[in-house]
Structure 1
């Protein structure tokens, strides 16, 4: 079993225990979860004023981002969801059959996935569970490279901040200098780091 499968199993256990709620995707409270959706979608607003684009919700879980888009925004978006977990994909398909969903591991099935204008990765890199920091960092770099290659315009993702009073063993607290060095050398020098929305994390927008 690949080491990152422990992360997937953790989220599936949350879904089994808490169902289709913010706790089912392991966000502690609904207010912060909604704030994250808003910040993630500002990937689009900060770059250009357009309202017709393809969006991949990478690690879509129960498609709560799509629900937020429908209920809280006027965006005209071609929404697509992807999750490595069949349990989450089946739930999302049942809720929103009009959307396209992919159930695959991008590190193994890269060619099965088309390109999208924008990709949002909310909560994909915030928990490392039993992985060591080095294991999670290697996994994150591989994932960011694979996902960015499927992005035509830009992507957003979040990680836990190092600027905290204490760090949880199971969360991925990533130093910004380490991430910036990787992005500028391997992905793009065109990025924004958001640390202004009151949570113990930061969000990165990285553009082509």
Structure 2
């Protein structure tokens, strides 16, 4: 499916907005838009726990960190128990973020490409993680962001041989920020079942104002 021009414009706007965090705060959690360090670390753990729960202990997996920024997820992996199990690859549109990532991890593969325009250039991976890609809509409307989210999941699903994980802001809050992407669960679930897979998990139990969705190729025998 060829994405619309408007959708392509929206995700480049989001990348530019995220780079403004790097200018303001440097190479840290605030430099990628996360206000709290501990919450950022929790997100990494939640992404891994949901995907790797179905992988036998010791089994090697290939993981793509989509929208990797300055590779903070790679730093998290190297400090934990998963380092020997995961072959990490990062991808981002931002040259500034990628320059930092490559400086810190010169032996790691980092890709710079627009998947909505160059999907054939993206290899396959066991798992694809999108952490924070769908949490901010910036100046975009909900409709524009929802179209982008759908187009991106359609493009990435064929590239994941086992599963995908991503987070969005929850509607189960007292108030919503206009610049964040709060997605109704029933809207997301209907789309996933119709166009992606019926093998999915919505996780809303880790204390942040968001939820994480895991998509699986096969029924997940937890």
Which TM-score tier does this pair reach, normalised by the shorter chain? Answer: over 0.9
Q: TM-score, normalised by structure 1?
A: 0.97
Q: How does 1:161-176 map to 2 (within 5 A)?
A: 161-176=170-185
1:114 partnered with 2:123: yes
Give the deviation of 1:98 after TM superposition: 1.1
Alignment RMSD (CA, Å)? 1.1
Given the alignment, which residue of 27, 30, 33 partners 1:20?
Answer: 27
1:45 partnered with 2:52: yes
Instruction: Name stretches of at least 5 consecutive residues in structure 1 with no aligned partner.
Output: none
Give the deviation of 1:26 after TM superposition: 0.5
Which stretch shows the higher mean deviation, 8-17 or 47-56?
47-56
Partner of 1:35: 42
What is the CA–CA distance in structure 2 between the aligned matches of 1:180 and 1:144, rounded to whole Å?
13
Give the deviation of 1:4 after TM superposition: 2.4
What is the CA–CA distance in structure 2 between the aligned matches of 1:190 and 1:25, rounded to whole Å?
30
Give the deviation of 1:48 after TM superposition: 2.4
Partner of 2:66: 58
Partner of 1:188: 197
Give the deviation of 1:85 after TM superposition: 0.8
Q: TM-score, normalised by structure 2?
A: 0.91
Partner of 1:126: 135
Secondary structure of the structure 2 residue equivalent to 1:73:
coil
Which stretch shows the higher mean deviation, 103-112 or 41-50?
41-50
Give the deviation of 1:43 after TM superposition: 2.8
Secondary structure of the structure 2 residue equivalent to 1:149:
helix
Given the alignment, which residue of 136, 146, 151 partners 1:137?
Answer: 146
Q: How many residues align?
A: 208
What is the CA–CA distance in structure 1 between the aligned matches of 2:203 and 2:73, rounded to whole Å?
19
Give the deviation of 1:17 after TM superposition: 1.4
Partner of 1:67: 75
What is the CA–CA distance in structure 2 between the aligned matches of 1:48 and 1:19, rounded to whole Å?
35
- CA offset digits 1:141-180 (Å, max 9, x no partner): 0001111111000010000000001000000000000000
Distance of aligned partners of 1:137 and 1:74 in 2 relative to their CA distance in 1, 3 Å threshold: closer
